[in-house]
A and B are shown apart, each in its own frame.
Chain A
């Protein structure tokens, strides 16, 4: 029946939206889609706190100075339930961060992705070396 199929489709659409919605707030209110950032830096610390976790990375500037950026991440409760640990992103890891800068121009950004240099992916429990845990076990 048309009505019920419509409902199923609507529920499906709802599901996509639910997974894409940022954790807490309307993302575009705080961060600027016109100010994408791609930064490479060393993880200084990770604060697994609510309402948002924060990843602090030290980015080396061209003139040799360092700027610390704070990158917004998800609620640690969900991350832990999904298999992350408090050391999933260890201090000292060299990472590339992609996201959008805060509209007030501060060194704060909301994330799209964190990868390791050379395009390698970040795995849960990664110590900064390449490859998923499964492959490491084979050795």
Chain B
């Protein structure tokens, strides 16, 4: 009798536990705004590494978000097609396109891969020399930024504006006539030093490869562009002195359930937080970052193919408010991450200085050399 009772209790507990775990893994999560219209299928179980951590490993190229504007309803004067009336009529609180609008976007005539078509027709020469971009896919969200709620970058503080005015880049502000005389007149990306944060985690026109590699106690986010391995030790709360400042900061990670949370501080000030390669970014690559910047990222995998990526930037010196972007990334194991050596063959600095001097003096000279 007692044995039967115990077995009964065990069986009941087991049934309850089983139903909880089955319930969690069995129920499908349908597509909605909450998951960027990417559902979780019934019965999907989050993969784990052999040592028991949630497994996020693989190649998740950033060009999956490559044609989604950074900012919602952003009026870019230089855009040939941007109708000011239409831009003014844009709803700043509309976070997602409707299904109809999204289908229309996906099927827009420019969507099919023009490059592949060009190569097939024999325009490979043109493609080779004019420079081509990574494949881009449309997303259903109207901007990468979700907070502030109007989808725009927050205003800068007076100190932020002062810092911005002192920044340099090869990308001009509207109406600006740039002069290049020394390497100081270029930005950190032009100089092949770093793309910095947060923009290294945003899409560029090409070389968007990112690969996540995990080991016990570590997660590393490998960036293709100017080769960077962002090392994220897990559960490491050893203080790192603010005297140690790095372009990519010092990162620490921990798991919240199956979500990887990465917090990064100890930034070296000076990189631009934005880059004109991200559509609907402010012009000129002059968005300052201070050494008080803190970036918090969340990586949440929702099925075998997709994770939702979130990145929040706080900077009390530069920003009046934090800003948060969120977008899905897709696993693409066939994406070839290739070496991006930059400094080794960077002609931008000497060539642009040569051109700038020639323009200013009215003389032409042979292109300068570099060691």
Q: Give chain A's interface residues, CB within 8 Å of chain B.
A: 2-19, 21-26, 29-30, 47, 49-55, 71-84, 88-89, 95, 97, 99, 102-108, 110-115, 121-124, 126, 132
Query: Whole-angstrom distance between the alpha carbons of A103 and B359 in the complex?
Result: 7
Q: Tell whether A113 pairs with B126 under 8 Å between CB atoms, given A15-B111, A16-B81, A102-B355.
A: yes
Which of B31-39, B131-139, B157-165, B310-318 contacts its partner? B131-139
Provide the residues of chain B in CB contact with A71, threshold 8 Å: 129
* Selected interface stretch from B12-20, B40-48, B212-220, B338-346: B338-346
Residue among B110, B122, B170, B346 with most chain A CB within 10 A = B122
27 A-B pairs with CB atoms under 8 Å apart are A6-B90, A8-B105, A9-B81, A12-B105, A15-B111, A18-B67, A22-B131, A23-B132, A25-B170, A29-B352, A30-B352, A49-B341, A49-B344, A49-B345, A75-B206, A76-B338, A79-B132, A80-B338, A81-B134, A81-B336, A88-B128, A106-B364, A108-B367, A114-B126, A115-B125, A123-B119, A132-B120
Question: How far, in whole Å, are A105 and B237 apart by their CA atoms in the complex?
Answer: 57
**Given A82-B119, A82-B127, A121-B125; 17 other pairs, CB 8 A cutoff:** A11-B67, A12-B81, A14-B69, A14-B79, A15-B108, A74-B132, A75-B206, A78-B207, A80-B336, A80-B338, A82-B116, A88-B124, A103-B355, A103-B359, A104-B364, A113-B125, A121-B124
Asked if B130 and A22 sit within 8 Å, CB to CB, the answer is: yes
Q: Closest approach, in angstroms, between the C-beta of B20 and any C-beta of chain A? A: 42
Task: Give chain A nearest CB distance to B125 CB in angstroms.
Answer: 3
A46 to B144, CA, bound (A): 38
Question: A54 contacts which chain B residues (CB < 8 A)?
Answer: 345
Q: Which 9 A-B pairs have the closest CB atoms?
A: A13-B81, A111-B129, A105-B364, A6-B86, A121-B122, A23-B131, A114-B125, A122-B125, A74-B131
The reply to whether B69 and A11 form a contact with Cβ atoms under 8 Å apart is yes
Known contacts A7-B90, A80-B338, A106-B365; decide if A112 and B130 are in contact (CB<8 Å): yes
Q: Which of B94-102, B238-246, B249-257 contacts A (4 or more CB under 8 A)?
A: B94-102
Residues of A within 8 A of B86 (CB): 2-3, 5-7, 9-10
A98 to chain B, nearest CB (A): 9
Select B80's contact among A17, A19, A82, A111, beta carbons within 8 Å.
Answer: A17
- SS class of chain B's interface: helix, strand, loop or mixed? loop
Complex: A95 Cα to B133 Cα, angstroms: 24
Task: Tell me, in angstroms, the Cα distance from A29 to B352 when the chains sit together.
Answer: 8
Minimum CB–CB distance from B178 to chain A (whole Å) comes to: 7
Q: How far is the CA of A81 from the CA of B249 in the complex (A)?
A: 31
A4 x B97 contact (CB < 8 A): yes
Residue B7 at the A interface, CB < 8 A? no
Residues of B within 8 A of A80 (CB): 336, 338
Residue of B nearest to A99 (CB): B129
How far is it, in angstroms, between the C-alpha of A49 and the C-alpha of B340 when the chains are bound? 8
Q: List the A side residues contacting B130 at CB < 8 Å.
A: 22, 74, 111-113
Which residues of A have CB within 8 Å of B128? 53, 55, 73-74, 79, 84, 88-89, 111, 114, 122
Closest A residue, CB atoms, query B180: A29
Q: In the complex the two chains form, is A102's CB within 8 Å of B341's CB?
A: no
Q: In the assembled complex, which residues on chain A have CB atoms less than 8 Å from the CB atom of B309?
A: none
Contact A104 B224 (CB under 8 A): no
Within the assembled complex, what's the spacing in Å between the Cα atoms of A8 and B341? 37
CB closest residue in chain B, given A116: B125
Q: Shortest distance in angstroms between B60's beta carbon and chain A's nearest beta carbon?
A: 16
Q: Is B365 in contact with A126, judged by CB distance below 8 angstroms?
A: no
**What B residues does A19 contact at CB under 8 A?**
110, 114-115, 133
Q: Cβ of A74 and Cβ of B357 under 8 Å apart?
A: no
B41 CB, nearest partner CB in chain A, Å: 29
B91 close to A (CB within 8 Å): yes
